[in-house]
Amino acid sequence: MHPLIQKYKLDSIFLPLVAIVITCVFWYAIAGKSVVTEKVDDFGDKVKITKREGLSADLPTPVETWTASKPYIVEPFAKRGELDQGILRFTWMSLVLVAQGYLIALVIGTPVGFFLGLSKQFTKAFDPIIQVLRPVSPLAWLPLGMILFSGVKIVNADGRTTFGASDAAALFTIAICAMWPTVMNTAVGVRAVPVDYLNVAKVLKLSKWKTLWKVLVPATLPYMFTGFRLSLGIAWLVIVAVEMLTGRPGVGGFLWQQYNANSYAHIILCILTIGVIGYVLDRLMSVVEGRFKTA
Amino acid sequence: MPLIEIKGASKGYGHNGSRSEVLKNINLSVEEGEFVVIVGYSGSGKSTLINLISGLVKPDAGEALIEGRKITEPGPDRGLVFQNYSLLPWLTVEENIALAVDEVFKEWTPKQRKEHVAKHIAMVKLSHAAHKLPKELSGGMRQRVSVARTLAMNPKVLLMDEPLSALDALTRATLQDEISEIWQSNKTTVIWITNDPDEAILVADKVIPLLPTAPATLGEPMLIDLERPRDRRSINHDPKFKKLRTQLITTLLDAKGRTKSKATMKLTLPDILPEDITNKNALPFLNRGGPKRRNADKREEVEVTA
Ligand SMILES: Nc1ncnc2c1ncn2[C@@H]1O[C@H](COP(=O)(O)OP(=O)(O)OP(=O)(O)O)[C@@H](O)[C@H]1O
Ligand SMILES: [Mg+2]
């Protein structure tokens, strides 16, 4: 085999595998193990008592996690009940909600970013508000969303609410938390448009509209997409908190419900799923982002 | 009436404390069809001067006129070829030129505009690269696109800000000839900025030195009455050329007076920079440099003490 390919295999397959194995061993070491002891009870009968022992007694071992999670992974789209569905079914619900909130974030965030980048006065006026709102946690936004949209109620033909206050609040929370990277990056991008390009627009006497679409937007696109990628990451981060608080079905909701049901193995399944999906989303976005990197 | 006129213009940058005057009392008049070259040192205010005419820079005092009207903003009647090409990197060659043509000739049919674009791409010999992006082109090709874009606007005057300074000597020579040829066929008025005295004399009808006094002023125009087309190989031995060249360089050097001055001339320097051996500190691996190359620096500058 070519030495380069060998090196590649070593670096990108072997080394991560080693790290995964080490992590699993560490996990196994601290996880609780079932210990069965026999005891004679008060009536003189022998009974078996199962007790969990270990550093973190309630933490399931990797093998237990796998056994408990198997039905959810092998049949990822099964629907056994409202709160007992395949993991990808839950993920899909979460993704749909994230997509909606994320779209709202982009649709609002990008123009705001442009205004900030283009107008010094606008920046001066709104920068303090933005800087104060930016670090606020989703846990704080959600109740506000509930209050803001308490009147929202869309009812379908059978009288069931299809879109209520909690849905609106969920979207609001995702959108407002995910918006900031898009706003900031777009603004920075607009300010970083080379003067030369703007001079070209001036010399050619392009109209405002044409300058925007032919010069400003293309020159800002790389920055915008960096913002879009970071925003998507945050939207996905926020979803769990939102689902926990509103009790919507989805990975986050499932996680919380499994915690309350003492099925700890499923929590780990959810965490891993959330992580993998987040990683995949980030990779997808950076592929798109790479496309828009101009010379 | 001259086509372009600058009357008593001056320009400086910055505010009170850190203000520096760049141009002072600039007077210039360019007739229709003239090919005027302005030569000056690097950083002496050449771009500022040409941008007074393009409208990108407003004079602090005095005024710039086109056909007797005051210049207040940029416009397509003054085609500017930027010092660094300034093509839009997300548009192909064709689209870059079309952006200009579509804006300037709104009343034409799409077909007319398309043909106009194609004609100008062919004029700069880039038909084969019409659908390429600027990043896929060499520096010389990019500059040709930039020239074509400007010519395609049919400007009354072509303003060229050091159009060839970023190119290597051979490409530069080719483009000098090509642009001269294009000019001879359509005789647009040209104001060309350069830092190369040879280039100035080779292409111009009239050379005006931008004297590096601080702030800079324009010197006496020199008429270049050499026959066209000028052949760059034989012209080097032409006594008239030699005399003009010496005169121009002397004017520029003298203007700096007895102070230590900098001139940008074509001199070949050894490609190695001296190593600094004074600073032998305790961390030798930090400055284990060895000889360094000079060629990263494109302008070969030489200190001349008058
Ligand atoms: N927008 C600006 N703000 C402040 N100072 C400026 C500005 N533009 C130019 N200057 C200063 O004015 C002086 C002349 O600049 P200018 O670009 O006109 O020189 P130049 O002759 O075109 O130089 P080069 O040969 O490098 O292109 C420089 O000292 C520069 O620092
Ligand atoms: Mg310049």
Please check whether residues A29 and A121 belong to one and the same domain.
Answer: no
From the CA of B49, give the closest atom in ligand 1.
Answer: 18
A212 located within any domain: yes
- Cis before residue B2, ω within 30 degrees of 0? no
A72 located within any domain: no
pLDDT of residue B255: 82
Tokens of A220: 């800002």
Tokens of A119: 């107008």
Choose which residue among B46, B56, B194, B264 to substitute to test ligand 1 binding: the one with the highest number of ligand atoms within 8 A of its C-beta.
B46
Nearest ligand (C-alpha, residue B165): 1
Closest-CA distance of chain B to residue A145, Å? 41
User: Given strand B20-30, what is the order of strands in its sheet?
Assistant: B20-30, B4-13, B61-66, B69-70
Instruction: Report CA(B11)–ligand 2 centroid distance (Å).
Output: 15
Please check whether residues A155 and A127 belong to one and the same domain.
Answer: yes
By the 8 A CB rule, do A197 and A242 touch?
A: no
DSSP code at position A213: I
Q: What are phi and psi of B79, to 5 degrees?
A: -80, 125
Nearest ligand (C-alpha, residue B48): 1
- Closest C-alpha among A148, A166, A288, A167 to residue A231: A288
- Cα–Cα distance, A94 to A90 (Å, whole number): 6
Rg (CA), chain A: 26
A67 located within any domain: no
**Three-class secondary structure assignment of B204-268:** CCEEEEEECCCCEEECCCEECCCCCCCCHHHHCCCHHHHHHHHHHHHHHHHHCCCCEEEEECCCC
By the 8 A CB rule, do A178 and A105 touch?
A: yes
Note whether A199 contacts B: Cβ–Cβ < 8 A.
yes
Task: Determine what percent of chain A is predicted with pLDDT higher than 90.
Answer: 47
- Closest C-alpha among B24, B66, B289 to residue B156: B66
Please check whether residues A107 and A212 belong to one and the same domain.
Answer: yes
Over residues B150-154, the mean pLDDT reads: 92
A68 located within any domain: no
Contact B56 A202 (CB under 8 A): yes
Residue B169 has pLDDT above 90, yes or no: no
Taking CA atoms, what residue in B is nearest to A217?
B90
Ligand 1 contact via B90 beta carbon (within 6 Å): no
Please check whether residues A40 and A139 belong to one and the same domain.
Answer: no
Angle at B38 between CA B34 and CA B39, to 5 degrees: 145
- Cα–Cα distance, B246 to B129 (Å, whole number): 41
Over residues B136-147, the mean pLDDT reads: 91
Shortest-distance Cα residue to atom 14 of ligand 1: B45
pLDDT of residue B298: 46
pLDDT of residue A216: 94
Q: A206 contacts in B (CB within 8 Å)?
A: 99, 103
Note whether A204 contacts B: Cβ–Cβ < 8 A.
yes
Residue B178 has pLDDT above 90, yes or no: no
CATH number, residue A241: 1.10.3720.10
Q: B73 contacts in A (CB within 8 Å)?
A: 202
Q: A210 contacts in B (CB within 8 Å)?
A: 103
Lowest mean pLDDT among A152-166, B4-18, B82-96: A152-166
Instruction: Report CA(B48)–ligand 1 centroid distance (Å).
Output: 6
- Closest C-alpha among B191, B175, B165, B180 to residue B266: B165
Shortest-distance Cα residue to atom 28 of ligand 1: B43
A245 located within any domain: yes
What rounded mean pLDDT belongs to chain A? 88
Domain boundaries, chain B: 4-77+155-258, 264-305
- Cis before residue B221, ω within 30 degrees of 0? no
Taking CA atoms, what residue in A is nearest to B85?
A196
Residue B297 confidence class, pLDDT cut points 50, 70, 90: very low
What is B4-77+155-258's CATH superfamily?
P-loop containing nucleotide triphosphate hydrolases (3.40.50.300)
* Domains in chain A, number: 2
Residue range B211-249, pLDDT digits in tens: 988 788 898 999 988 888 888 888 888 889 999 999 999
Over residues A261-276, the mean pLDDT reads: 89
- Cα–Cα distance, B248 to B263 (Å, whole number): 12
Ligand 1 contact via B212 beta carbon (within 6 Å): no
Nearest ligand (C-alpha, residue B160): 2
A66 located within any domain: no
Chain-centroid distance, C-alpha B43: 12
Ligand 1 contact via B48 beta carbon (within 6 Å): yes
Instruction: Report CA(B162)–ligand 2 centroid distance (Å).
Output: 7
Choose which residue among B21, B48, B211 to substitute to test ligand 1 binding: the one with the highest number of ligand atoms within 8 A of its C-beta.
B48
Over residues B175-199, the mean pLDDT reads: 89
Residue A203 has pLDDT above 80, yes or no: yes
Please check whether residues A287 and A219 belong to one and the same domain.
Answer: yes
pLDDT of residue B236: 84
Q: Which residue has the higher pLDDT, B107 or A38?
A: B107
Residue range A189-202, pLDDT digits in tens: 999 999 999 999 99
- Cα–Cα distance, A198 to B62 (Å, whole number): 26
- Closest C-alpha among B48, B63, B81 to residue B4: B63
Q: B100 contacts in A (CB within 8 Å)?
A: 204
Please check whether residues A146 and A197 belong to one and the same domain.
Answer: yes
Ligand 1 contact via B209 beta carbon (within 6 Å): no
Shortest-distance Cα residue to atom 23 of ligand 1: B43
pLDDT of residue B258: 38
By the 8 A CB rule, do B233 and B202 touch?
A: no
Residue B196 has pLDDT above 80, yes or no: yes
Contact A204 B104 (CB under 8 A): yes
Chain-centroid distance, C-alpha B114: 29
pLDDT of residue A83: 67
Taking CA atoms, what residue in A is nearest to B88?
A197
Closest residue to B90, CB basis, from A200, A202, A294: A294
Interface of A with B in 244-283 (CB under 8 A): none
Q: What is the value of ipTM here, to two decimals?
A: 0.76
Contact B56 A203 (CB under 8 A): yes
Over residues B18-28, the mean pLDDT reads: 90
Q: Which residue has the higher pLDDT, A276 or A9?
A: A276
pLDDT of residue B259: 40
Contact A197 B133 (CB under 8 A): no
Residue B264 confidence class, pLDDT cut points 50, 70, 90: very low
Q: Which residue has the higher pLDDT, B185 or A133?
A: A133
Please check whether residues A37 and A119 belong to one and the same domain.
Answer: no
The three-state secondary structure class of B21 is strand
What rounded mean pLDDT belongs to chain B? 84
Interface of A with B in 76-105 (CB under 8 A): none
Ligand 1 contact via B43 beta carbon (within 6 Å): yes
Distances (CA, A) of B69 to A83, A129, B4, B5: 78, 47, 9, 9
Residue range A153-172, pLDDT digits in tens: 888 888 777 788 888 999 99
- Cα–Cα distance, B95 to B134 (Å, whole number): 11
Distances (CA, A) of B193 to B3, B45, B209: 18, 11, 10
pLDDT of residue A190: 95
Residue range A207-217, pLDDT digits in tens: 999 999 999 99
Closest-CA distance of chain A to residue B189, Å? 17
Residue A106 has pLDDT above 70, yes or no: yes
B286 by Cβ neighbours in 10 Å (0-12 / 13-18 / 19+) ranks as exposed
In residues, how long is chain A? 295
A269 located within any domain: yes
Q: Hey, how many other C-beta atoms are within 10 angstroms of the C-beta on B177? A: 16
Please check whether residues A39 and A83 belong to one and the same domain.
Answer: no
Residue range A81-96, pLDDT digits in tens: 766 778 888 899 999 9
Mean pLDDT comparison of A229-233, B181-185, B298-302, highest-scoring range: A229-233
From the CA of B50, give the closest atom in ligand 1.
Answer: 18
Pairing mode, strands A79-81 and A84-85 = antiparallel
Enumerate the β-bridge partners of residue B10.
B61
- pTM score > 0.90 for this model? no
pLDDT of residue B303: 56
Task: Determine what percent of chain B is predicted with pLDDT higher than 90.
Answer: 53
Its domain, for residue A47, covers: 3-60
Amino acid occupying residue B15: H
Choose which residue among B22, B26, B199 to substitute to test ligand 1 binding: the one with the highest number of ligand atoms within 8 A of its C-beta.
B22
A171 located within any domain: yes
Distances (CA, A) of A272 to A91, A186, A214, A249, A268: 12, 32, 43, 18, 6
From the CA of B40, give the closest atom in ligand 1.
Answer: 21
Choose which residue among B10, B13, B49, B161 to substitute to test ligand 1 binding: the one with the highest number of ligand atoms within 8 A of its C-beta.
B13
Residue B77 has pLDDT above 70, yes or no: yes
Residue B304 confidence class, pLDDT cut points 50, 70, 90: low
Instruction: Report CA(B199)–ligand 1 centroid distance (Å).
Output: 21
